[in-house]
Structure 1
Amino acid sequence: MVDTVVLSRSGLRRALIASCSMMSLVALDVRAAAATDAARRNAATAHLGQKSSLGHRTPAARHAVLPVAKDETVQVTGARTFGGGRMARETAAETISSLSHVAIAQRTAIASPLQLAASMPGVNFGTSDAYGLSIRNFISVRGLDQTEMGWVVEGMPGTDQAYYYPYIETWADNENIADMKLLPGTSRLEDPVQSASGGEMIMSVRSPADKIGGHLDYSAGSYRGQRVFARFDSGYLGNSGLKFFGSYSYAAADNFVGSGRNNRTHVDFKLQKDLGRMGKSSLFVSYTDWNNARLNFYSLSQWESANRIDNNFSAGNYAGTYTPGVTTNYWRAYDYRRKNVLISWQNELHLTDRMTLHVTPYFHWTDLNSPGQTFVNPDNIWVGNQKVQIDASNLYLTSKGVAAMSNVAQSQFATGVNAYLNYDITRTNHLTFGYWYDHWNMSQINGLTPMDQYGNAPYNSNYLHSTSGELIANNNFQESSQINQFYISDTQSLLNDRLKLTAGFKYMMDYISGTNMVPGAPYHFSSTIAQPMPRVSAAYDITKNLQVYLNGMTNTRPPVPISTYPTTYGLTGSISQSGAPNTKPEYSIGEELGFRYHDNIFSANVAFFNMNLTNHQVVTLRSINGAPVSEAVSLGGETIRGVTAEVATRSWWGFAPYVNAQYLNARMDNNLGVMDTSSRLDYLPTSGKTMVMSPKFMASVGVHYNYRNFFGNLDFHWVDSQYSTFMNDQSMPAYKTVDLGIGYRFKKVFAFQSPTIRLNFTNLTNVKYLSSVAVVGNNAIKTRGVNGGSIAAGSASYYLGAPLAVMMTVGTDF
């Protein structure tokens, strides 16, 4: 293997994929059936091989007989839960928050996973939809947004690599989620993440059940909301060691304001092969077809005005009817569509009693259209820097020109493999080393589809062309990237395993290139990034219940590809975005000091953190030819300090409380370069200002109730005000929300195991609030720059918070 490593990247990739496939086939064909029966007889000793929260075998288990891999769901269920499944005991030398399937099952079935994670410590989450059907979602952790986090599902990267958005709603249905883990400020060494300068979110999908069965549920609620979910578990298929589950769901709801109905169709499938003492192999596949009639975002003055007149915010939203030549923002022209496929093949092979190989090949495909409305002047239309003519004889002309839907049509796929080896050198020394390869390709066209007199326009077809046959698209490019990442770590246990010292190193090489077909733009662009990322940590068990840990970590995030490298134009020939292939990657250096206490009654975590960022990029929205697209703003350095705490208890008389809170101090280290009113470069005096979207205080209080056949949960969430401009001259108001869920489990009826009915209320008190910042502003008040120039006032925009929504769910196992 050493000779292979020093060869070309393509040679290394072929060798890895070939070796992975061969190992898995040998394991499946030669020894699997016999080992499976033996492993089932040894299932009673499965606790000897339990893993820590980060997947490493504990020292006491390293030389034990290796049992069959346990079902993840069974492991979580069998453990003592705190705070109704919102807090688990962790021992790794880093801050980890978790959410088990026990807690997930109490929430609204239609909710998105991001909504479920909103109660985790330090999570700043906002949405315009109570049902998780909107793409108007925002999440940040310790002041760093979702594009600065790593996102992993079933061992594969789930991130949309064009934007670094997770679109976690396309991963798995809530009923199939085993648990979710959040690592704020860092990432696991062995995970395939490229954008984790601010943390990592990890989702695990349940294993298929050992016995044949299934689950059905149906939900109905406010705004004509409805959802159906069905799952079938095969159980073990004879003595083959194979089992699988397949599920289907359909969800739909109207927008709470304005026009439009949203829907999502989703399929999950997981096939697992138990290999006995040799390990296990599982194949996970998910498919999503998602349509979202988007809501418009509001300026602060629009929101305040709508609150005063109480018109249910309809005045500021997209238009519900279409009048030719008058309507400039017809809602049908903003209907977002996305299709998504994830395939992950996880393999865990116990080569010896000291050596375990993990190999995960994967595939990710996405097709989307994120459109908007614009007007085209037939006498003044440009493609890039060239003026063109169109034949308008067959087009519907208005006083403003040709109304058109501006399609941001995109297709992308990613393939890769992540492989790492865990080796117990001695009883007290654990070594991990591995390699991750990823290839990603994306193409995007911003074509124009003419609208008829009724406002209708076909998606991704009937594009406008010039009289010479040229496609009218000022955004027409292709990008691809290759990631090669090597990593290694070593953990040494001392003082009878009470002290654990870890040193690790990760090296990422990211090469991105592309071609731009728009006239005037550079035809070819490329960028190469090579980034070392060392880390060290120490954890010491003061007593069996009390632990202290130190963690020093470095992480990186390459520039956002779609808003950094290609050059794009407007319809009048002006440059909308200048490609910047020399943009440096974001780099973070962080430290944590944490304390944990855990006994049979009470669990508490406190973490103090400090982080310094260089080349920080904040992602916001802007408009290109009428369509909202992402924009990355380079800010220089940032310093982040704060403390997070969470406390939970076990159930007392059916009640299990949970509380978390965070204090955050995030400061910009540099002045922001902008153009003044004379089109000269100047700087806003932003050094020392508080970073946008970084509330100083946040807190969540929840209580879970479970007694006999009754269950329920109550959640209170408070988010302090947060700045929406870099000059701190405008902010989003603080808000408080309350969610409530109640339910009842019936006794077995014929083949129906424990039928359940539950009622969920989101935003119980129907608070009217702004949930998150959509468009970040430079300054809301006219400002004098550092060099004396006059810098005009801008504005920020916000997403509306979802109002009260009620949903009833009836379901049963069988």
Structure 2
Amino acid sequence: MAGGFTYFGGAALAFPALLLATPAAAEADDANPRDIQVVGHPDPEGLLPDQTAPKAISAISADFIVKQAPTLNAFQLVNLLPGANVSSSDPYGLSTSSSLTLRGLGQDEIGVLMEGAPQNDIGYYYAYPSQFADAENVRQISLAQGAVDIDAPLVGTAGGLLSLSLDDPKAQRGGLINLSLGSYNERRVFARFDSGEIGNSGLKAFVSYSNNRADNWRGAGYDTRQHVDAKLLGEWGDGNRASIALSFNEAKTSTYPSPTLAEWQEYGRGFNYDKRYTDGDTNYWRLYRSPFRNFYVAAPLHLKLSDALTFDSTGYLQFGYGNSPYGTQLTETGNFLGTEELTQPIALPGAVDGVATVLGNYTGNQFRGGNVSKLTLETGAHRLTVGLWFDYGTDRVSQSYTSIDADGRPTDPWGRQANAIRTADGRLLAYENIRTETVTKGFFLADSITITPRLGVEIGFKGVNVLRNGDNYLPGPEQKVRLNSSAALPRAAVHYRLDDRQQIFANVTTNFRSPNEFTLYDTYYGDELVSQGTNALKNEYSVSEELGYRYIGPSLSFSLTAFHYHFRNRQVATVIDNGGALVNSTINAGSQTSYGLDGEIDYRPAKGVSVYVSGEYLHARLDDDLPVGGDYLPTKGKRAVSSPTFQFGMGSTYDDGRLFGSTALKYVGRQYSTFMNDESIKGYATLDLSVGVHLAGLIDAQRMDLRLNAINVTNPHVLSGVQTVSSNAQDTFGRNGTLISGFAPAYYIGSGRAFVVTLSRAF
């Protein structure tokens, strides 16, 4: 690849194919020539739905989603939106090896809600899009790039909010079946049944099931996913509404290996796990296949208590268990459990000369439940809101070991403790063995004031407390841990409507993030203390501002938002491979300042036609030198990691009632992977295409569609994002003269090209 735009030329040539359409016209009424009627197309065709919030917010709706490959996850679907930088390791969105950054802020800084319920990991703040609802059940995905709603049951959301709204059950009984076949032996079936109104109860429901399987697009292995979504909805009176949404996901997916830059230059896409097992091989693909099982429940409720007073409440539950395994070797002697040396040999099945290849397990068993409730009172010019949030979660994490058979197959890929290797006296042999209980409490107050019919002001305050209590079950000086963090989060916003089409807005928002749970615990490898747990790591705190302009026209809509962030104690999470053991680490990057511009335009020249363009300019700089050991790296003024200066997207949709299609082109600029800016990856572009035909009327009146999706059609051989960052890649002298050794970052390999054919039939 000679430069960042190598693949852009071919993508740009393909883009205009779906843009031919008759422009919008202004027609005169024959009876009154002076009465001019503007004929426009207010329906945004699934891109850039109308917004009135006093903050930057973008969205895609079902009209756009239904034209995309049905396998794509929520991160991939929002890739076109301003500021969204998506790194996917596989074209179908099945693997958990993916990431999303917004305005340069990582996935663990972005809140995710589904039907108002949080989807983020309670301990590490990550969300996993391959576990979310099937695309066929999603009505809209909105992306607030900066300011998050004050009532959102989330912390650590300086990077914004991704929110999924599920489709309501249909009023009439019916269903939908989708059958898909594609590259790499992709096979998927989706079936949904809608009950219609159940008797005369006013209740209606849907339930859906999907099953997906695909070979790895590079290297050996395959992914499987089966998923169930369901929703029960009741509506009564004047706007009263209650629903319960369920989502179950079970998947066994491959973890694609992430190369360093040197490994990428040597092996390219050939950097994979081994296809066949040989004795002693810790790089065999079956040792890196992750099973996960998750169950989500959300129960939103809206009650109109009077003409002026409403009550809203969302209760939620999460259950999850999974394993992120890896291959490693154990010896029968010379082992440690925490700080305790094990003097008796360990029985290792299949050991040769005292050494056995085993499955290293990284298992997590999580529970999370909570509720956020609020009362809203409209009185005079005021709209007052007061609410409470309570969240309780437990996270049981262990790194244990499981034996494998002579063919390299793990005896228990789920890594259950009952089947794990034990010490001679029966204790679990573990590199990590912790349990963390997290209690989050919050309250919020807000007032939306109508100053004039055109001018509105919002002020609010949110107080949050995060309490973590944990147990370290490994022998050693640390048994109990505790962290108590609180933050006061004021905010304000102004919205002014210039006329029926134009709006301007401004806001100031504060955010905080309590340190990840793993920062509390001592970590050992052999007899060495790899990292020392601490409760002294400072909370990340940020202040952000936005100033925006929005135009909503009959055939043209656009928005432009200027933003500014300032961070104290910027936390950046990464993972270090310490001799085969995975060590979670958090880097305190000190102070950081970011500012830039987001923009998006949607032009609708004719019914069923939409042309969409988005872009972002980002200036993100470190304000401090980075402490490393007893010295400081000269990082002040360097660019922030994973923060491309430029990115833009171009999309289009077409639907004339018989033929339909879409395009999605995204370019992402250069990204640095170290705080010293001594290593980076080049910019790249991707292009997705779809074309289809509505078959309704050819057989019967029922909806029936046939479509072809081409994912990443230009197939660039690129690194698509930074998987783990480092302070410096090259050996560097600190401010005080110490030679600080370099550590190579790791990267996501951009996914390959894939084609999917889908037949969709309603009944």
**Paired-residue identity, %:** 33
Paired residue for 1:760? 709
- Give the Å deviation of 1:304: 2.0
2:408 to 438, 450, 455: 455
Contact 2:377 2:385 in 1 (8 A): yes
CA distance change for structure 1 residues 405 and 530 in 2, over 3 Å: closer, same or farther? same
- Give the Å deviation of 1:457: 2.1
Q: List aligned pairs for 1:433-582, cutoff 5 A.
A: 433-459=386-412, 460=416, 461-495=418-452, 497-561=453-517, 563-570=518-525, 572-582=526-536
- Give the Å deviation of 1:625: 6.9
Give CA-to-partner distance per residue, 1:600-629, whole Å, 9 cap, x none: 011010000000011111122223673546
2:277 to 317, 322, 326: 322
Paired residue for 1:110? 71
2:154 is paired with a residue of what secondary structure?
coil
1:301 is paired with a residue of what secondary structure?
helix
CA distance change for structure 1 residues 431 and 393 in 2, over 3 Å: closer, same or farther? closer
Give CA-to-partner distance per residue, 1:662-700, whole Å, 9 cap, x none: 00001111111223xxxxx21111111000000000000
Paired residue for 1:226? 187
1:643 to 597, 607, 611: 597
CA distance change for structure 1 residues 745 and 628 in 2, over 3 Å: closer, same or farther? farther
Q: How many residues align?
A: 720
Paired residue for 2:738? 789
1:697 to 615, 626, 646: 646
Paired residue for 2:251? 290
Alignment of 1:801 onto 2:750: yes
Q: List aligned pairs for 1:127-142, cutoff 5 A.
A: 127-142=88-103
1:102 is paired with a residue of what secondary structure?
helix
Contact 1:186 1:555 in 2 (8 A): no
2:222 to 251, 261, 272: 261
CA distance change for structure 1 residues 533 and 228 in 2, over 3 Å: closer, same or farther? same
Letter in 2 for 1:319: D
Alignment of 1:80 onto 2:34: no
Give CA-to-partner distance per residue, 1:697-725, whole Å, 9 cap, x none: 00001111111300111111100011011
1:606 to 546, 557, 560: 560
Paired residue for 1:70? none
Supply the distance in 2 between the matched residues of 1:79 and 1:353 (Cα, whole angstroms).
34
Give CA-to-partner distance per residue, 1:759-808, whole Å, 9 cap, x none: 00011111111111112122122111011101112211111111110000
- Give the Å deviation of 1:749: 5.9
Q: List aligned pairs for 1:663-702, cutoff 5 A.
A: 663-675=617-629, 681-702=630-651
Supply the distance in 1 between the matched residues of 2:740 and 2:112 (Cα, whole angstroms).
38
Contact 2:41 2:604 in 1 (8 A): no
Paired residue for 1:64? none
2:290 is paired with a residue of what secondary structure?
strand
Supply the distance in 1 between the matched residues of 2:531 and 2:691 (Cα, whole angstroms).
50
Q: List aligned pairs for 1:22-101, cutoff 5 A.
A: 80-82=42-44, 84-101=45-62
Letter in 2 for 1:472: L
Range with bigger deviation, 316-325 or 625-634 = 625-634
Letter in 2 for 1:445: S
Supply the distance in 1 between the matched residues of 2:314 and 2:606 (Cα, whole angstroms).
42
Range with bigger deviation, 729-738 or 189-198 = 189-198
Contact 1:374 1:625 in 2 (8 A): no
TM-score by length of 1: 0.86
- Give the Å deviation of 1:168: 2.6
Contact 2:659 2:692 in 1 (8 A): yes
Contact 1:385 1:520 in 2 (8 A): yes
Supply the distance in 2 between the matched residues of 1:453 and 1:547 (Cα, whole angstroms).
67
Contact 1:373 1:627 in 2 (8 A): no
| Structure 2 alignment gaps of length 5 or more | 1-39
- Give the Å deviation of 1:399: 5.8
Letter in 2 for 1:453: A
- Give the Å deviation of 1:521: 4.4
1:514 is paired with a residue of what secondary structure?
strand
1:373 is paired with a residue of what secondary structure?
strand
Paired residue for 1:724? 673
Contact 2:283 2:327 in 1 (8 A): yes
2:151 is paired with a residue of what secondary structure?
coil
Supply the distance in 1 between the matched residues of 2:605 and 2:134 (Cα, whole angstroms).
27
Supply the distance in 2 between the matched residues of 1:175 and 1:527 (Cα, whole angstroms).
41
1:185 is paired with a residue of what secondary structure?
coil
Q: List aligned pairs for 1:145-156, cutoff 5 A.
A: 145-156=106-117
Letter in 1 for 2:272: N
Contact 1:620 1:631 in 2 (8 A): yes
Range with bigger deviation, 645-654 or 213-222 = 645-654
CA distance change for structure 1 residues 692 and 430 in 2, over 3 Å: closer, same or farther? same
Supply the distance in 1 between the matched residues of 2:203 and 2:431 (Cα, whole angstroms).
51
Letter in 1 for 2:475: P
Letter in 2 for 1:743: G
CA distance change for structure 1 residues 89 and 629 in 2, over 3 Å: closer, same or farther? farther
Supply the distance in 1 between the matched residues of 2:309 and 2:583 (Cα, whole angstroms).
47
Supply the distance in 2 between the matched residues of 1:266 and 1:393 (Cα, whole angstroms).
39
Supply the distance in 2 between the matched residues of 1:390 and 1:176 (Cα, whole angstroms).
56
Give CA-to-partner distance per residue, 1:221-248, whole Å, 9 cap, x none: 0000111000000011122110000000
Contact 2:464 2:486 in 1 (8 A): yes
Contact 1:244 1:272 in 2 (8 A): yes
2:63 is paired with a residue of what secondary structure?
helix
2:520 is paired with a residue of what secondary structure?
coil
Q: List aligned pairs for 1:609-648, cutoff 5 A.
A: 609-623=563-577, 626=580, 628=582, 630-648=584-602
Supply the distance in 2 between the matched residues of 1:807 and 1:194 (Cα, whole angstroms).
38
CA distance change for structure 1 residues 396 and 88 in 2, over 3 Å: closer, same or farther? same
Give CA-to-partner distance per residue, 1:320-379, whole Å, 9 cap, x none: 212113x23221111111111001111111000111100111111110111111111222
1:259 is paired with a residue of what secondary structure?
coil
TM-score by length of 2: 0.92
1:120 is paired with a residue of what secondary structure?
coil
Supply the distance in 1 between the matched residues of 2:299 and 2:531 (Cα, whole angstroms).
39
2:392 is paired with a residue of what secondary structure?
strand
2:460 is paired with a residue of what secondary structure?
strand
Letter in 1 for 2:393: W
Paired residue for 1:583? 537
Paired residue for 1:272? 233
Give CA-to-partner distance per residue, 1:25-79, whole Å, 9 cap, x none: xxxxxxxxxxxxxxxxxxxxxxxxxxxxxxxxxxxxxxxxxxxxxxxxxxxxx99
Letter in 2 for 1:513: N
Contact 1:531 1:556 in 2 (8 A): yes
2:610 is paired with a residue of what secondary structure?
strand
Contact 2:41 2:605 in 1 (8 A): no
Letter in 2 for 1:481: T
Alignment of 1:235 onto 2:235: no
| Structure 1 alignment gaps of length 5 or more | 1-77, 308-312, 676-680
CA distance change for structure 1 residues 394 and 534 in 2, over 3 Å: closer, same or farther? closer
Supply the distance in 2 between the matched residues of 1:96 and 1:262 (Cα, whole angstroms).
34
Supply the distance in 1 between the matched residues of 2:578 and 2:447 (Cα, whole angstroms).
49
Contact 1:449 1:462 in 2 (8 A): yes
Tell me how large the CA RMSD over aligned residues is.
Answer: 1.6
Supply the distance in 2 between the matched residues of 1:576 and 1:454 (Cα, whole angstroms).
33
Letter in 1 for 2:428: L
- Give the Å deviation of 1:751: 6.3
Supply the distance in 1 between the matched residues of 2:479 and 2:730 (Cα, whole angstroms).
39
Letter in 1 for 2:639: T
Supply the distance in 1 between the matched residues of 2:184 and 2:115 (Cα, whole angstroms).
33
Contact 1:371 1:627 in 2 (8 A): no
Paired residue for 2:316? 362
1:235 is paired with a residue of what secondary structure?
strand
